[in-house]
Structure 1
Amino acid sequence: MTEAAIAASDGLWREIRGEAQRAADADPVFSKTLASTILAHDDFAAALAELIGRRLGNSAAERARFTAFSREAFRDEPDLIEAASRDLRSIALRDPAIAALLPPMLHYKGYVALQAWRVSNWLWCCDQRDAALLFQHESSNVLQVSIHPAAYIGSAVYLDHATGIVIGANVVIGDEVTILQNVSIGRRGELPARSPRIGRGVYIGGGATILGDIRIGDFAKIGADTVVTSDVPAGCTAVGNPVRLTNCPEPASVA
């Protein structure tokens, strides 16, 4: 992680702690939760690791295990914290219902599920595959978000509402993508089985299904309940089943 990224993460953590302290001062009951989840920690990585453990673990032993794996991942791969910082800021920028950082960190399960996937992906790449799949299983069971550890997801990604999201192995998702509830992205039955590649800034509406060896171009939009099994060019909107393309950019004129 670069010095600029470290400074950005530290700045984000100061903002979160400031929000938490103000909320604790205003609500003595809520202050107990904030004291243990936010104010007791020295940095963003420690707080996030414990948050993942709290959300995924069903017992004290399980919470400790998930927290320990997360701490190890964040310590070994600081870029995970940079990505988590960008994910959190993206919510405040793109969700009109929220402007602060503390509420989505504590209460948006899509955010926690995405950070749990980042840990599972690190475990998968470190050949700790049973542990990686355990993270996927518990995230699916508790948060209703199932992302295979062998997927690839960029940063500044927002899982909005985040119920019923399924992302399969080897799916590639670029930066600044927004995914709503009940979205499925994965392989079809063809051989060789290959997974979709989702470009930067793509918006995927609720209930959409994206399958097969296809490419969704940068800044495309996939409408609610759309079934996509072929490429969608950059900037186009795909709607319906069977899918049709609308609002595509005009082709560049030839001199």
Structure 2
Amino acid sequence: MDQTSGIRANMLVNLQKTDGHTRQSMFEICVSEVNQLRRQEPILNTVLAPLAQASSLEWMLARHLSAVLHATGVDVSALGDLFAEILHSHPSVPNATVADLQAAYNRDPACTSYLHALLNFKGFQAVQAHRIAHQLLKDGRTDIAGWLANRVSLVLGPDIHPAASIGRGILVDHGAGVVIGETTVINDNVSVMQNVTLGGTGNEIGDRHPKIAQGVMIGAGAKVLGNVTIGAMSKVAAGSVVLKEVPPNCTVAGVPAKVVRWHDAAQMPSHSMDQQI
């Protein structure tokens, strides 16, 4: 067994311990992981020192996202303060971050720690920045919300409209090529693989993007187009094109996608992460 496999095996033994974290307990774990990584890899100290000095998970996330997303001519400290302001004034945002960290750690075998997701996972970072942009939009700050969404796309890859509604416990794996349209609604505990499009079917206006129910997994390269619903606990197979409603508790595959299998009602594809048909 190689070192990574051994680390992951130990994590799986303690999987239940990853559930139910508060913001404070998650923050304490991340601080411990930051300090451990600083000892192991001192070359990263400049990156890690601001995280080690953070007083809360909100500040830790704000500082890292601002360092990742700031642009030439934009004050990185002011950007971090803006992010921290949103995170502190809207507790539902960092609460969702905790659930997203747990999702990355529990579902992605490449995730060796919570800090690993926070520090390195583009999909995770993009979703957290989207949550901030979404709140800025709700607060009437349209221009800065749009600027932030554009920075996320340029720097991290996922193109997520700031008006899209995204729930908790979301895994956007890799993030490359992901497009999420303006009126998309993604409910809790959903997993989205790389190169997924949740888009429209043309130049229609109004409510024109997909609605993804809880527990859904959308496989790599799948396209869900139009104001259609993917039913709870269903799976969209890799490379499929969905143009019609998908019932709950099934797998759809193909172009256009059709039901190819029915699931037990208790099965949650977003957690099992099984892309096989």
Name the TM-score, length of structure 1 as normaliser.
0.90
Q: Does 1:222 align with 2:236?
A: yes
Distance 1:249 1:75 in 2: 40
Indicate which of 64, 67, 81 corresponds to 2:77. Answer: 64
Indicate which of 33, 45, 54 corresponds to 1:31. Answer: 45
Distance 2:66 2:41 in 1: 25
For structure 1, list consecutive stretches of 5 or more residues without a partner in the other structure: 1-5
Q: Does 1:9 align with 2:9?
A: no
Decide whether the 8 Å contact of 2:191 with 2:218 is kept in 1. Answer: yes
Residues 119/61 of structure 1: CA separation in 2 closer, same or farther (3 Å cut): same
Displacement of 1:28? 2.5
Displacement of 1:250? 7.6
What is the percentage of aligned positions where both structures have the same residue? 31
Distance 2:104 2:205 in 1: 37
Indicate the residue corresponding to 1:52 in structure 2. 65
Displacement of 1:64? 3.2
Indicate which of 242, 247, 254 corresponds to 1:240. Answer: 254
Indicate the residue corresponding to 1:204 in structure 2. 218
Indicate the residue corresponding to 2:6 in structure 1. none
Distance 2:29 2:206 in 1: 47
SS of the aligned residue for 1:233 comes to coil
Distance 1:179 1:134 in 2: 24
My pick for the range that moved more, 170-179 or 188-197, is 188-197
Q: Deviations over 1:35-86 (max 9, x none)?
A: 22x1011111001011111111123634334323211211220110100111
Which amino acid letter does the alignment assign opposite residue 193 of structure 2? L
My pick for the range that moved more, 57-66 or 176-185, is 57-66
Number of residues paired by the alignment? 245
Q: Does 1:75 align with 2:103?
A: no
For structure 2, list consecutive stretches of 5 or more residues without a partner in the other structure: 1-19, 266-277
Q: Deviations over 1:192-217 (max 9, x none)?
A: 65221100011011111101121101
Indicate the residue corresponding to 1:188 in structure 2. 201
Which amino acid letter does the alignment assign opposite residue 240 of structure 1? G
Distance 1:17 1:64 in 2: 21
Which amino acid letter does the alignment assign opposite residue 37 of structure 2? A
